[in-house]
Structure 1
Amino acid sequence: MALQTLNPPLRWRPEPSFPINDRTIVDLIPRRWALPQTTISVGACASCQIATGNDGFWDPLVGSETALRKVVPKRVDLATLGNLCVDIVLGVPSLPLAPKNERRAYMERLAASPPDKKFWEAGGNCNLAIAASRLGLSCFTVGHVGDEIYGNFLLEVLEDENINFLGMSKNADQTANVADYQTLLCWVLVDPFQKHGFCSRADFSEEPAFIWMTELTDEIKMAIQQSKILFCNGYAFDEFFPDLLISALDCAISGGTSVFFDPGPRVKTLSNGTPQEQMALQQFLRQSDVLLFTSDEVETLTGIHNPIEAGKALIREGVRTKWVIIKMGAKGSILIDHSSVSCAPSFKINVVDTVGCGDSYSAAIAFGFIHGIPAINTLTLANAVGAATATGCGAGRNVAQLSRVLELLNQSILDEDDKFWNELIGGNSLNNEVLLLSKVSINGHSHCFNRIHISSVVSKLLTIFEAANERGTVSS
């Protein structure tokens, strides 16, 4: 393996990370703060009610979906599946060339000189989990890390951030190649123009990185079903077989757990991948409750240039789809549901580094979904969390701190572009109500959307966090 020279020998431990009985997955680290136990609507859908709190229930059934299913007590807000890695963040004079053999040779040259620990950072789904934990959600990560210096580093970071870990060890073969069980490393290369390149050993194999993992343990199934949300992204296909990911999806649905899916840059390769990958991709697209894309990714997937029209198409084709989120980069973001389209311009900031912005943004979307926050408010919070991350350097422990998020909300400096939003909104069929976050309270040009003043949105968001702060349980 390309990175084998970077990892010391390890001692494989096939046991699960936590003992689990038939009642609860683990004695969770207490969340940093919690909203008062109450009954709220799921994803701003008033027709579907849940009771929150550690002993509450979560029922994501909405609309015409009436299939009976087991409703499992939800003890955790958010679980992530796979994509746990250590980022090695290095400044380089230029990014490696595109051909795979040249990128692999480049990575091997980097691995020949082990980097100082100051360049290490938690990566992958750790970014999302850390951001979610800092917002006050109880989180755990499901995945594999090796029993070596990188794995120990990753587990220490998760523990420090109040995040639990459940290891995937089914079918572990102690006679197998040691490299097959090592913690995944991702080289994050940054050139002088702040452009990023990413490479890991998973990029250079036709098979998943953890080919020995072929089925979910009972502990993992229970953990998934005791979570309100299961988050999975396209990078999980680099680690596990499609059948295993589908089994996690089925497990979540059968237990009443909502599913978030962000295919990310892998959407193109999965769309043109093996029959198993294509089938799994379609399953996630149709069966997930919330889908997240960039504007480029959703166009690649649907062939539709207008992101609102693309989101509507995915809503129509989905079986359980409630929200489609489109991240528009510096312009802001869009949330499409069955009855409306919500648009929120970005916050005006000095961008330092965009790594981890999308992950931390997704954490805020999960927060809004769980707590039934209206779509436009959820987008505003997510934009603020993503922007707060962009003002720092790197991801992992450098993602948004709550104090910085609240500061951006209080300042409420939007980077508005009326021409952009008028053209975008005017270029789609207006069968839905369209809401636009703005510092202007009158209707937009041609009455094609309703402006929602940011002051009213921010005041409601701040009330949520200030109420928790008064109880002395918010960590900045």
Structure 2
Amino acid sequence: MKSLCVIGSLNMDLVTSVKYFPKPGETIFGESFKTFPGGKGANQAVALGRLGAEVLMVGKVGNDIYGTKYLEVLRNNNVKQDGVLIEEGISSGVAIIQVSSEGENNIVVVSGANDKVDCNYIESKWSLIEEADIFLFQLEIPVNTVINTMKKLKERGKIIILDPAPAAKLPDEIFKYIDYITPNETEIETLVEKKIDNDEDLREAAQVLFDKGVEVVIAKLGSKGASIIKEDEYLNIPGFKVDTVDTTAAGDSFNAGFAFALAEGRSLEECVEFGNAVGAISTTALGAQEAMPTLEKVNEFISKRD
């Protein structure tokens, strides 16, 4: 099995459960408050660790209680933390999350130490980084760091997966380094600056990304599953029905499941199905990482549908 490396963010999620999201100027009473480890990068790393992958996390936390806690979380979830530094004089990243009674969420992120993951830091960890085969990126560390790191990895023939989240318009250069890009509907609309209303719109949006250099688009479509889009192929892989509690890390979990299956050498269709399963299971408990499954649980989950 190929080894994996996640280069990205580590946040502590401060989660409030509410009946509904307050309107501007409105004060409501929340139903509960909990603290969970999160951040798109670390979510993907922890999900991979739970599945049993060999995975290295690269990023930074602050010199505070959240940073210390996160190193413990990584260690307890089979994630190598040699690539994570405690940055002095700054807070760890935090995400303030509201989750409604319907399982929807909104999120405010304070980047903290994640903003200090610069190219010099990547260079200082390069001997560890280049040992991996498959790399997962997101957009919660500086984009310049992401682009320059991808470029170096591409020159060495590594496999690169980008989860373009949070949604952002990106420089054209980044796309020529990407093997697999995994946007949801909002993110692909942002990337191509076009509204997506149907499959034809999605194909046209994917073509824009192909023209810029992307190899494969994996479009995450929520309850509808995910679509594999290549220049000459469009295939939808159905999702799984579950009782949703919290969708906070569904996309991160999908990416971890997809990358794990890819590392095992499965077909692209099997990789996306596996990603759909991991993503679905992850929504069945409150908190980004609480319901992330083991390999045994995912295989059992998929077999029940078969």
Select 2:292's aligned residue among 382, 390, 399: 399
Structure 2: how far apart are the matches of 1:211 and 1:122?
18
CA distance, structure 2, for counterparts of residue 351 and residue 332 of structure 1: 14
Conserved? CA contact 2:139–2:165, under 8 Å:
yes
4+ long deviations beyond 6 Å: none
Separation (CA, whole Å) in 2 of partners of 1:348 and 1:266: 26
Q: Please tell me whether residue 231 in structure 1 is matched to residue 120 in structure 2.
A: no
Q: Name the structure 1 match of 2:102.
A: 193
With over 3 angstroms needed to count, the CA separation of the structure-2 counterparts of 1:410 and 1:132, relative to structure 1, is same
1:26-55 superposed Cα distances (whole Å, 9 cap, x missing partner): xxxxxxxxx5xxxxxxxxxxxxxxxx5xxx
CA distance 1:217–1:350, change in 2 (3 Å): closer
Give the SS at the match of 1:197. strand
2:84 aligned with 1:167, yes or no? yes
**Per the alignment, in what secondary structure is the counterpart of residue 159 of structure 1?**
helix
2 CA distance for matches of 1:217 and 1:409? Answer: 37
Contact 2:92/2:111 (<8 A) preserved: no
Contact map agreement 1:123 1:396 (CA 8 A) in 2: no
Q: Match of 2:55?
A: 139
Which 5+ residue runs of structure 2 have no aligned equivalent?
Answer: none
Residues 191 and 168 from structure 1, CA distance in 2 versus in 1: closer, same or farther, beyond 3 angstroms?
same
Q: Sort the Cα spacing of 1:352 and 1:137 in 2 relative to 1 into closer, same or farther, 3 A.
A: same
Q: Is 1:259 aligned with 2:168?
A: no
Shift of 1:315: 2.2
Distance in 2, Cα, partners of 1:246 & 1:79: 16
Shift of 1:153: 0.8
Summarize the Cα distance change of 1:328–1:160 in structure 2 as closer, same or farther, 3 Å threshold: same
Report the residue type matching 1:141 in the other structure. Answer: M
Q: Which whole-Å CA distance do the structure 2 matches of 1:85 and 1:298 have between them?
A: 24
Flag the 1:96–1:209 CA change in 2: closer, same or farther, 3 A.
Answer: farther
Alignment check: 8 A CA contact 1:130 1:397 kept: no
Tell me the alpha carbon deviations over residues 222-276 of structure 1, each in whole angstroms, 9 at most, x when there is no partner: 222211122111222xxx3x43333212221233222111112332xxx2xxxxx
Correspondence for 2:70: 154
Q: Secondary structure at the match of 1:377?
A: helix
Q: 1:289 aligns with which of 159, 167, 179?
A: 179
Task: Report the Cα distance in structure 2 between the residues aligned to 1:213 and 1:309, rounded to whole angstroms.
Answer: 34
> How far apart are residue 395 of structure 1 and its match?
1.6
The separation in 1 between residues aligned to 2:187 and 2:151, in whole angstroms, is 25
Q: 1:210-359 to 2 correspondence within 5 Å?
A: 210=115, 213=118, 215-236=120-141, 240=142, 242-267=143-168, 271=169, 278-279=170-171, 282-302=172-192, 303=194, 305=196, 306-318=201-213, 321-359=214-252
Alpha-carbon distance change, 220 to 350 in structure 1, aligned in 2, over 3 angstroms? same
Letter paired with 1:158 = L
Q: Secondary structure at the match of 2:237?
A: strand
- The total of aligned residue pairs comes to 297
- The one-letter amino acid of 2:261's match is G
Q: 1:136/1:340 Cα in 2 relative to 1: closer, same or farther (>3 Å)?
A: farther
Partners of 1:364 and 1:212 in 2: how far apart? 25
Alignment partners' CA distance in 2, 1:297 and 1:343: 18
Matched, 1:374 2:279: no
Equivalent pair of 2:18/2:101 in contact (CA under 8 Å):
yes
Structure 1 residues 130-139 or 213-222, which shifts more?
213-222
Structure 1 residue ranges without an equivalent (≥5): 1-34, 36-51, 53-76, 272-277, 413-454, 456-476
SS of the residue 2:95 aligns to: strand
**CA drift at 1:94:** 4.5
- Larger mean CA deviation between 222-231 and 327-336 belongs to 222-231
Bigger mean CA deviation after superposition, 369-378 or 354-363: 369-378
CA contact (8 A) 1:122 1:157 kept: no
More strand by share: 2
Matched residue SS, 1:316: helix
Shift of 1:146: 1.8
Shift of the 286–213 alpha-carbon distance from structure 1 to 2, 3 Å rule, reads closer
Check the 8 A contact 1:224/1:251 in 2, yes or no. Answer: no
Give the deviation of 1:288 after TM superposition: 0.9
Identity of aligned residues (%): 25
- Counterpart check, 1:130 vs 2:55: no
- Residue 92 of structure 1 and its aligned partner are, at CA, apart by 3.4
Structure-2 separation of matches of 1:143 and 1:128: 13
Bigger radius of gyration: 1
Amino acid at match of 2:164: P
Name the CA distance, whole Å, in 2 between partners of 1:371 and 1:185: 33
Partner SS for 1:350: coil
Shift of 1:80: 1.4
How far apart in 1 are the matches of 2:219 and 2:240?
Answer: 16
CA contact (8 A) 2:54 2:79 kept: yes
Q: Give the TM-score normalised by the residue count of structure 2.
A: 0.85
